[in-house]
Structure formats: structure tokens, C-alpha cells
Amino acid sequence: MKAFKAIVSGKVQGVWFRGSTRDEAHKHNLVGWVKNMPNGSVYLEAEGEEENLKEFEKWLHIGSPMSRVENVEIEWIEPTYSYTHFEIKF
């Protein structure tokens, strides 16, 4: 089990980015959460198999169909093992 946290910036709010992120995480059997930040970016934490996380990271650079991702900052962290699914936080 591996984990990372990410900050995604660009046009990523109001374009179904969080919902698409959740769907993509489910597709890759990942757990964690995603949340809009006050500065217009999106923050997320994801845990799962390393190969699945790497595929998910590639998707984050593309984003939802209506988004325009300008930057993705990834930091690999220790997994918490506390998540049971991937959710959208408000």
C-alpha cells in the first residue's frame, strides 16, 4: 500500500473535477478524499497499490473533460489505512 497527496491547480472548480476524481479513484481501487480549496485549487489524498496510484496520477494531469489542469504537485506520503472509500469533502 502506497499513498500520495496532491494539489491540482488550473480551472478545476465548477467543472465536475471532484466528481470525476472520485470516479477515477474508484476505477483504480483507491481510497481517500478530494476537496476544493479556497484559492481555487483542489487538494486530495489517495491510497492504494502503487501501480494504480501512478495511473491515477497520470489522469490528474488531464482531469475532467471541462477542466484545464495547469499544475499537479504530488507528494508521496505514508498511508494512513484509515479510509474505506474515496469521498468528496465539502
Q: Residues with catalytic annotation?
A: 18, 36
3-state secondary structure 37-70: CCCCCEEEEEEECHHHHHHHHHHHCCCCCCCEEE
Tell me phi and psi for residue 51, to 5 degrees: -60, -40
Provide the sign of the torsion angle of the four alpha carbons 88, 47, 5, 7, taken in this order. negative
